[in-house]
Amino acid sequence: ALVAACPEIEKATFNGQWGDGSKNFPLPVLEVTKGECYRLRFLGLMSAAKPYFNVSIEGHSVQVLGQSSATTTAASEFSVRAGEGVDVILCANQSQNALQHDYSMTMKYVGQTGAKSFSGIVRYPQNVAVVAAAEQIGSPVLGKDKFDMSTCEVEYVFDMRDSIVDYKRPTIDLGGKASRQSADNIPLSNRKAALLVNDSYPGPLVEAIEGQLICVTVNNNFVSDPVSLHWHGQHMKGFPAFDGIYGVTQGAINPGESMVYRWRANAGTAWWHGHMQALQADKGLKGPIVIHAKNDPHKHLYSEERIVTLSDEWVDPGMCLRAEGAQPGNPVCAEIEKATWNGQWGDGSDEYPWPKVTVEQGKCYRLRFIGMMGQAQNFQIQIAGHNMTLIAVDGADVVPVQVSSFNLHAGERADIVVCADQEPGNYLMSSIYDLATFLETAPAPKLPRVDSSKFWAFLNYAGHT
């Protein structure tokens, strides 16, 4: 129902941008090249069902594709309704001057109580390289059936498959009693249905140098899970269609289908994770991203790097992370079950040894911490006997500052320089979920007791057992 205090519509965006032509809010632009034809895929993401937009482009007619792409209808205007997709063919066949020429694109909102127009621009630029730009905004040029993989500077292939794992160390294989077990040999209490990429947990590292074109081919071989992947911390400048937001920038990659994600890398520590459904990351669909800066202002502080991922772990995320929370009669789990360091939980036993981050005496290391938690809000991190220097937060460089501990929230990244300047040994690394510490001894009425809110690993000097 309409509310009298609010207008039926305030603003409308085209590819996430509204503009009025001012310096601060320029009109959204769709760039095309004279002589080329484009398939434009319009998607109505409006929240209300009945209103719609009529779209027209000055000086151009389009061919509206029917349900079968073999049938088209010529039109000077076409309608886009909520939740519907409309594919049209636009041929850039108008004249242009020596620099550029802009043609107005009008998106007229037709509502229940009135109409309102919003504007954009179809631009013929001087630069002959706009064919690539058109592909980047998600409007492939007709006749280019496949992306030219030879333009990729860094390539990865993600093979997605269902797996049964031990949730305390999903893919870690340390040999002996700590060997990776087949599904039937994993204790039932530890047996987890996981979604893995390249049979690893966390998933494979995506690594590149700032500015390089990264291409990730995703092959969805899951039994029933459709997917999309979000590249958390990568800005996707010029490549918004590959940001991986299901229902906004892309549809699902269904089982048996593939997609090539591509973007130019921005420097910093980041991570990728499933973005089709919230529980997919908790089932294993996540991994690190490291983009090395061309000019690292902190390079003189360290000689090597290590990645340190932290994640809370659940045998059955679908049961434990229920949206309705801990209510009487609702069999949700405790606030936290276990947490892993680089995919490994340990208690010092033969079956579950302590996780280790191995270093060499005399060297300084950039430790790239990544908070891959799904339920746990944060971990307090400390390393015994060693100074820590914070040099970057969420991929952005900061003025180096020495810290004795730091707080790593879900989704955050913190880059720490640690020098192995102590006597060889094993030095305790602790991650404490401080918000759950009181639940170790004093459970609340709607919050069950936790076994522990503290999870440990060791900074291990190479050669010391």
Could you tell me which of 300, 244, 246 has the C-alpha nearest to residue 270?
A: 244
Per mean pLDDT, which range of 16-20, 47-51, 163-167, 292-296 is the poorest? Answer: 47-51
Domain boundaries 299-461, corresponding CATH code: 2.60.40.420
Token pair 């601060």 is found at: 24
CA-CA distance, 235 to 260, in Å (whole number)? 17
φ/ψ of 410, rounded to 5, equals: -60, 130
What average pLDDT does the structure give for the chain? 87
Edge-to-edge order in the sheet of strand 258-264: 191-197, 154-166, 213-220, 258-264
More confident residue, 414 or 99: 414
Q: Which residue carries 């340190």 as its tokens?
A: 308
Please write the tens of the pLDDT for every residue from 436-463.
899 888 777 767 888 999 999 999 999 9
Confidence check: pLDDT of 67 > 80:
no
pLDDT at residue 65 above 90?
no
How far, in Å, are 218, 282, 367, 447, 452 from residue 327 at the CA level? 39, 22, 39, 9, 21
Distance from the Cα of residue 190 to its chain's centroid? 28
> How buried is 332 (Cβ within 10 angstroms: 0-12 exposed, 13-18 middle, 19+ buried)?
middle
- What percent of the chain is modeled with pLDDT above 90? 61
Q: How far apart are CA 156 and CA 197, in angstroms?
A: 11
Pairing of strands 388-393, 413-419: antiparallel
Reported as a pLDDT band with limits 50, 70 and 90, residue 98 is very low
- Please state whether beta strands 213-220 and 268-274 pair in parallel, antiparallel, or not at all (unpaired): unpaired
Indicate the fold that domain 29-136 takes in CATH.
Answer: Immunoglobulin-like (2.60.40)
Do 154-292 and 29-136 fall under one CATH topology?
yes
pTM over 0.85: no
Tokens of 402: 């020495």
CA distance 457 to 426: 9
- For the 154-292 domain, the top CATH level (class) is mainly beta
Q: Please count the other Cβ atoms lying within 10 Å of the Cβ belonging to residue 28.
A: 18
What are the boundaries of each domain within the chain? Answer: 29-136, 154-292, 299-461
286-295, pLDDT tens digit by residue?
999 999 999 9
Residue 178 has pLDDT above 80, yes or no: yes
